[in-house]
C-alpha cells in the first residue's frame, strides 16, 4: 500500500469567519508541510480582500486560488468570489457549479472534493458559522480516513457550524482557532496509507461531479434523480423539485444541482416567507389607502351606498395590515429559535 503524509488542509468558515480565519492564520507555523485551502462564504460580486488579510495575519502567504494551479506546501489558497474551490490531482480547480445552501464558493464542495481526491491525506477544519455548512463534507473526510478539527464553539463568534459538525462527526480535535495551527503542525507529519480499495458512495461521486460541472448540459445532475426520491419541497434558487439525498431528509438537491441542507433550507424558506409577507403588507396598505380615497370621492358625489362599500374595504384592509405588521415585527421562527436540542435533530 502506498504511503504519504497528511498534507492537504481544507478550511471552511461563514458568519464570523474573518476573525476566526485571522486567528487560524496567526497560529500556523511558517514551515507547515501542507497546502491550506480556505472557503469563506462571500457575496458573488467584486474581489475578496481575504488573501491580503490572511497574509498579514500569519507567517504563510495567502493567494487567491487559480484553476489548475499546483498545490504547494506552506501556502494558503483562498476561494475567489462566485467560484467553488475544488481539489483535483494535487491542484486547485475553480468551478461555477450549482450553489450549495445558496453559496458559491461552498464549504462542502471543497471538503468533498479533497476527500475524494486525496483520502486520508486530508484534514478538514470547520470554523465559525451560523448553520451546518461543512458538516456533510467533514463527514466525507472522516469516512475516507482523514482528520476532523473544529473551532471550540466557545471561541467562535457564531458557534452553530462547529456544534453541528460535532453532532454529526466524531471530531479529532476541538480547540480555539489560534491553537489549530499547533495541532496541525503535529498531525501533518503523520504518514498515512492510501485506501484505494474502498468504493465511493454513489451519491458523493455524483455530487462531486456536479460541483465540477462535468458532463454535457445537466446530464450529471440528472443522475441525482436516479438515486433519490422527490421530497415534495421546492428549491429556493430555481423553484424546482428538491430530491432527498438521505433517508433522514437532512440533505436535498434539485434536478439542476442546487444543494440544500435541511437547516439552510428552513432558514431560506423563512426569509422567502418574510419577503412575501412584507409584499403583502405593502399591498394591503395600498389597498387601504386607495379604498379611503374612493370612499371620500363617493361621499363627495353623493353615493352613500358606494361610499359604505369602499369604507368596509378600507377597514378590512387596514385591520389585516395591522395584524400582519404585528406578526412581522414579532419575527418569523428561525433555526436558532427552536427549543433547546430541537435544532440538532437533523444534524
Active-site residue list: 14, 41, 133
Distance in angstroms (rounded) separating the CA atoms of residues 245 and 261: 10
- In the Cβ-directed half-sphere of 236, how many Cα atoms lie within 13 Å? 21
Give the residue from 114, 97, 113 showing the smallest Cα distance to 105: 97
Q: In terms of DSSP bridges, do strands 147-151 and 251-254 run parallel, antiparallel, or are they unpaired?
A: unpaired
Cα 233 to Cα 118, 209, 257, distances in angstroms: 34, 24, 15
Q: What is the separation of C-alpha 1 from the centre of its chain, rounded to a whole number of angstroms?
A: 36
Which three-class secondary structure state does DSSP give residue 333? coil
The residues facing 124 across adjacent strands are 10, 148
Assess contact for 174 and 148: CB atoms under 8 A: no
Give the residue from 21, 146, 137 showing the smallest Cα distance to 78: 21
Amino acid at each position: 500500500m502506498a504511503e504519504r503524509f497528511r498534507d492537504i488542509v481544507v478550511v471552511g468558515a461563514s458568519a464570523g469567519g474573518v476573525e476566526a480565519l485571522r486567528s487560524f492564520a496567526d497560529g500556523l507555523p511558517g514551515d507547515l508541510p501542507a497546502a491550506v485551502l480556505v472557503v469563506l462564504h462571500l457575496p458573488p460580486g467584486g474581489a475578496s480582500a481575504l488573501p491580503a488579510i490572511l497574509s498579514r495575519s500569519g507567517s504563510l502567504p495567502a493567494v487567491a486560488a487559480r484553476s489548475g494551479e499546483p498545490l504547494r506546501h506552506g501556502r494558503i489558497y483562498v476561494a475567489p468570489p462566485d467560484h467553488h474551490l475544488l481539489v483535483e490531482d494535487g491542484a486547485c480547480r475553480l468551478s461555477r457549479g450549482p450553489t450549495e445552501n445558496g453559496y458559491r464558493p461552498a464549504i462542502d464542495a471543497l471538503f468533498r472534493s479533497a476527500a475524494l481526491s486525496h483520502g486520508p491525506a486530508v484534514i478538514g477544519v470547520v470554523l465559525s458559522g451560523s448553520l451546518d455548512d461543512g458538516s456533510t463534507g467533514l463527514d466525507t473526510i472522516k469516512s475516507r480516513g482523514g482528520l476532523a478539527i473544529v473551532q471550540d464553539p466557545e471561541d467562535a463568534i457564531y458557534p452553530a457550524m462547529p456544534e453541528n459538525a460535532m453532532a454529526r462527526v466524531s471530531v479529532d480535535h476541538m480547540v480555539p482557532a489560534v491553537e489549530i495551527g499547533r495541532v496541525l503542525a503535529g498531525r501533518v507529519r503523520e504518514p498515512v496509507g492510501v485506501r484505494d480499495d474502498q468504493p465511493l458512495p454513489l451519491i458523493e461521486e455524483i455530487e462531486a461531479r456536479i460541483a465540477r460541472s462535468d458532463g454535457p448540459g445537466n446530464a450529471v445532475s440528472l443522475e441525482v434523480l436516479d438515486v433519490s426520491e422527490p421530497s415534495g419541497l421546492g428549491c429556493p434558487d430555481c423553484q424546482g423539485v428538491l430530491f432527498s439525498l438521505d433517508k433522514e431528509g437532512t440533505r436535498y438537491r434539485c434536478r439542476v444541482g442546487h444543494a440544500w441542507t435541511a437547516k439552510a433550507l428552513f432558514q431560506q424558506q423563512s426569509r422567502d416567507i418574510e419577503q412575501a409577507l412584507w409584499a403583502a403588507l405593502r399591498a394591503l396598505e395600498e389597498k387601504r389607502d386607495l379604498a379611503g380615497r374612493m370612499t371620500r370621492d363617493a361621499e363627495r358625489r353623493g353615493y352613500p351606498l358606494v361610499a359604505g362599500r369602499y369604507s368596509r374595504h378600507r377597514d378590512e384592509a387596514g385591520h389585516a395590515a395591522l395584524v400582519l405588521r404585528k406578526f412581522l415585527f414579532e419575527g418569523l421562527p428561525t433555526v436558532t429559535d427552536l427549543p433547546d436540542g430541537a435544532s440538532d435533530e437533523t444534524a
